[in-house]
Structure 1
């Protein structure tokens, strides 16, 4: 089998109403759908996403820049392809948009591999589980009122979630504490609760807020400080009993090696497009397992399920509903767990009608 071409399509998914975090005001998400074509009747799919459609062309340009490196190569040789692309981006560097491009191609090749052999990617890798606890991540924004937070938290629990995440990082830490207290009171002690500051705090602010949050028995305190401030994140982690989760904005195994060595986080959160695709995600998860650190994938809920099913140290899947309409298949959840599909490849395929709708 040989790769013959890469096709891409820009999409934009608007939100019904804007959402806010400590550093974002988001009206929708944009993305680039990717198809890796072969000379046989099988193709692989992946996608990249950004905040702001104007950023998409740079992602497409990076993928197209890598296309000559993989044409006429065997997509089943995922590690060899990865090494070839890794060498090709040396001049531009191994962080940022280069890794996005590499990730999309690697990920699509894993989809091809599973489809070619008629088995799920988790089946190829050796399944560790067929379901994974999920936390509701598509809500509880800083832009919401306390009343709206309570209403939505109740809705998440009624939908079957046994874990939910809310955003913090307001200028007044007292307001954050009041809001978390209201949500905790609403959902009770038996539902797991996480908070995410989206990198919006200084080290001192994070420690102060984190100490106040200890009373709410949180599963984790996510991205309390800027992602590049590993020393600061390590200081916060050392000062608090609540585990620190981070890594969604980190690149490749070398970035995560630095995080591990600095003890910058207690839970690592590799993101498929930033870490470098399936191949690199697996390396990071295994590095973390070697030092007994759990991992939880960032967004990309549908495709990350195959990764959740293939390693033993994943603690939660993030349920983010932003992209559910893109796929023909739908996520299934039972008793707070998402079922990991055993369909060939990554287990989810783009819905042509949705692609047309979001491309217009």
Structure 2
């Protein structure tokens, strides 16, 4: 069996960013699907990488996944990786596993070691988009819990994203989380995402100020490349710390794991290198007694399914991400979308990724240019730096 075509389909799900799907044909009539991570204003560059890399995949045996990815890095990219490269490689790799699973009539998790669990816990995200008022967060959180989720994630800090912030930003975050905790009760897990924005002094202050609400985790308090900053926060934070969505491949995670700079990693199957690479990263973390919680700011179809298959075979898995605003799109383009029930997704049993894509519907929803954002000018900045304080 040989690969005859690699196609990139950029689609718009009706909310925020475009999604990037990868479709691979074979001379045996088997078609595989995958999904590359996308980011607003950069999705065209990622799609271009899928198309360029795909030219070198045509003519190869889809079973030779490891060699295809090695050639992509060593020879195609000449060992100069990037976000765009890793996203493209991830989408292609998922589609190859989909083909292999269909060819062998096996779900992917059976081909990567077999399942260690029958269901995958998920947390809700996307439910608080553009909210500012604490009461709005609380009412929305109540609806999320009423729909069956037992865990939800949010970024409690006001914008803009800056390294040094005033005390008022921390106070507002405390008010927001307190209001949510009061609304959902003590048993629902609240996950906090800081989006790599803070200096350690502010991150530590924020973690201490929020600890009384017993958050499940404190995600990406600092830039993920600054291992020392992450380690400083982990050492002082009463909340478990997380990083990984902006790290790519085993090499990107090596410094974090060696220094035990966090308690949990969250690599994304659509940008870390794919299913097998995610398994390698998780295994390395397992040896350091670090948990793995795959990131999934992707659709609720292909990338979610790839995540579920990897998580099923991952001993140190704890929870993964489900973006509620992409759910309607997933139901349109997928005949059997993965749907959480009481906060868990049951493992798909079909071959490959177990997802039946309606290609006609996918092609009817082409990507759209992302609207130009109003980014700050110097006069918009103002005095934002503040000294750390523990008085909240």
Q: In the TM superposition, what is the alpha-carbon distance from 1:245 to its structure 2 partner?
A: 1.1
Residue 189, structure 1, aligned to residue 196, structure 2: no
Residue 32, structure 1, aligned to residue 20, structure 2: yes
**Given the two structures, how large is their TM-score scaled by the length of structure 2?**
0.84
Residue 92 and residue 60 in structure 1: after superposition, are their counterparts in 2 closer, same or farther (change >3 A)? farther
Mapped contact 1:142–1:167 kept (Cα < 8 A): no
Instruction: Supply the distance in 1 between the matched residues of 2:188 and 2:324 (Cα, whole angstroms).
Output: 20
What residue in structure 2 maps to residue 25 of structure 1?
none
What residue in structure 2 maps to residue 21 of structure 1?
none
**Given the two structures, how large is their TM-score scaled by the length of structure 1?**
0.91
Residue 135, structure 1, aligned to residue 138, structure 2: no
Residue 3, structure 1, aligned to residue 6, structure 2: no
What residue in structure 1 maps to residue 384 of structure 2?
none
Query: Which structure carries more strand by proportion?
Result: 1
Mapped contact 2:200–2:232 kept (Cα < 8 A): yes
Mapped contact 1:69–1:84 kept (Cα < 8 A): no
Residue 121, structure 1, aligned to residue 108, structure 2: yes
What residue in structure 2 maps to residue 213 of structure 1?
210
Choose from 233, 236, 245 the match for 2:233. Answer: 236
Instruction: Supply the distance in 2 between the matched residues of 1:306 and 1:79 (Cα, whole angstroms).
Output: 18
> After superposition, where does 1:257-272 map in structure 2 within 5 Å?
257-272=254-269
Instruction: Supply the distance in 2 between the matched residues of 1:270 and 1:119 (Cα, whole angstroms).
Output: 25
Q: Give the length in aligned residue pairs.
A: 347
Residue 307 and residue 219 in structure 1: after superposition, are their counterparts in 2 closer, same or farther (change >3 A)? same
> After superposition, where does 1:139-154 map in structure 2 within 5 Å?
139-141=127-129, 143-154=131-142
SS in structure 2 of the partner of residue 227 of structure 1: coil
Q: CA RMSD in A?
A: 1.8
Mapped contact 2:131–2:137 kept (Cα < 8 A): no
- Once the two structures are superposed, residues 266-301 of structure 1 have per-residue CA deviations (whole angstroms, 9 ceiling, x without a partner) of 100011222111121111011111122110111143
What residue in structure 2 maps to residue 310 of structure 1?
313
Between stretches 63-72 and 104-113, larger displacement belongs to 63-72
Choose from 74, 78, 92 the match for 2:65. Answer: 78
Choose from 264, 281, 286 the match for 2:283. Answer: 286
SS in structure 1 of the partner of residue 12 of structure 2: strand
What residue in structure 2 maps to residue 19 of structure 1?
none
Instruction: Supply the distance in 2 between the matched residues of 1:322 and 1:263 (Cα, whole angstroms).
Output: 34
Between stretches 133-142 and 291-300, larger displacement belongs to 133-142
SS in structure 1 of the partner of residue 116 of structure 2: coil
Instruction: Supply the distance in 2 between the matched residues of 1:322 and 1:302 (Cα, whole angstroms).
Output: 17
What residue in structure 1 maps to residue 144 of structure 2?
156
What residue in structure 2 maps to residue 319 of structure 1?
322
What stretches of structure 1 of length at least 5 have no aligned partner?
Answer: 16-27
Instruction: Supply the distance in 2 between the matched residues of 1:318 and 1:67 (Cα, whole angstroms).
Output: 28
